[in-house]
Amino acid sequence: MNYIIGIDMGGTWLRIAIANLDYKIINKAYIKMKELLESPSIIDSLEKIIRKFAGDRINEVIEIGFAAAGKLDLNKMLIVFSPNSSLRNLSLSPLEEKLKKPIKLINDGVAAALAEWKIGSGVNHDNFVYVNIGSGIGGGIIVDEHLLIGKEGNAHEFGHMIIDIHGTLVCRCGGRGHWEAYTSGNGLLNYCSFLAKSFEIRTEFLNKVLSGNFTSREVFEYARIGDEFAYYVVKEANRLNGIGLANLINLYDPSIISMGGSVVINNIDMIINPLRFYIKELSFNTPPDIVPSKLGENAPLIGAMIFAREYNEF
Ligand SMILES: [Zn+2]
């Protein structure tokens, strides 16, 4: 029997899965990125992790799909840098040589988009946009049944799209006014602090923000129980998300947008419905429906496997 391995390297977790050739996941494991980044050789550690995880099946693994967050250079099999970790210029070529298995690198958001398009929320849509709002904002785009890749593999970095011409907030990449600096899990913290400065009603959540001790999850929890400041932040965040989505709709004319990532999946009621309203207001092109991701956290793993198996030109 033949197997494929999928790896998803994010800011906090490295996830690894093994599947049969129908992309049915047989086993999955999580490793803390901190452990990997602190090891003397990341490539040696990755080799060990893969061999240990696959066990006896390693000889039957025919390909490895590697999804990674951050800026990539697919021509050089290189993870150039990731705004959410200390990783810099990691080449996967030595790993390929050590394991003697073909490895294909792809951005994690693009991998998730590919999986959602092939077997998830985007099936039967030739024009499909997947937006992931987690610690950052990313995703992938399919236009006329074609997965967009770009010259180095970064044709989807819409989290770094400039949505604020005044560049009020600084993104983790160093740029100003980028979408993810405002409404991603990390960005929302800075956005709350910024909005708190001019909000005139003292609420419980506003006090928490001013004390500096709060989480992005609490924004939605407080909004749900009627805190006026938290509700205002969610409303402003949705308006900015609406601007981001409207830009994507005008660029790519998708027939459906799928949304995933922890911020969306934990707050579907407070994000997807309002966004349906905002994209009607803001987009020039006919607004498509917005649906939640079907594959959840497995999307990047499965997408990396599909990319490894079906995209031989890379
Ligand atoms: Zn940025």
According to DSSP, the β-strands at 289-292 and 256-260 are: parallel
- Rounded CA separation 314/308 (Å): 9
Of 50, 68, 67, which Cα lies nearest the Cα of 59?
A: 50
At 59, which amino acid appears?
A: N
**CB contact at 8 A, 137 and 191:** no
Task: Output the CA 160–ligand 1 centroid distance in Å.
Answer: 4
Task: Output the CA 109–ligand 1 centroid distance in Å.
Answer: 15
Task: Output the CA 137–ligand 1 centroid distance in Å.
Answer: 9
Task: Output the CA 206–ligand 1 centroid distance in Å.
Answer: 26
Task: Output the CA 172–ligand 1 centroid distance in Å.
Answer: 6
Class of domain 121-293: alpha beta
What pLDDT, on the 0 to 100 scale, is given for residue 267?
95
What pLDDT, on the 0 to 100 scale, is given for residue 206?
98
H/E segment holding residue 115: helix 108-119
CA dihedral over 209, 242, 128, 312, signed as positive or negative:
negative
Residue 203 phi, psi (nearest 5): -120, 170
What pLDDT, on the 0 to 100 scale, is given for residue 83?
73
Tokens of 306: 């599909």
Task: Output the CA 251–ligand 1 centroid distance in Å.
Answer: 19
Task: Output the CA 157–ligand 1 centroid distance in Å.
Answer: 9
Task: Output the CA 38–ligand 1 centroid distance in Å.
Answer: 25
Which CATH superfamily does the domain covering 3-107 fall into?
Answer: ATPase, nucleotide binding domain (3.30.420.40)
Residue pLDDT, tens place only, 160-186: 999 999 999 999 989 999 999 999 999
User: CA dist 8 to 41, 50, 105, 272, Å?
Assistant: 18, 12, 10, 25
Task: Output the CA 299–ligand 1 centroid distance in Å.
Answer: 23
- Rounded CA separation 91/168 (Å): 35
**CB contact at 8 A, 66 and 9:** yes
Task: Output the CA 181–ligand 1 centroid distance in Å.
Answer: 7
Task: Output the CA 180–ligand 1 centroid distance in Å.
Answer: 7
What pLDDT, on the 0 to 100 scale, is given for residue 92?
97
What is this structure's pTM?
0.94
What pLDDT, on the 0 to 100 scale, is given for residue 22?
95
Residues of the chain scoring pLDDT < 50: none
Task: Output the CA 159–ligand 1 centroid distance in Å.
Answer: 7
Task: Output the CA 148–ligand 1 centroid distance in Å.
Answer: 20
Residue range(s) occupied by CATH 3.30.420.40 in the chain? 3-107, 121-293
- Rounded CA separation 19/2 (Å): 9
What pLDDT, on the 0 to 100 scale, is given for residue 82?
82
Task: Output the CA 1–ligand 1 centroid distance in Å.
Answer: 43
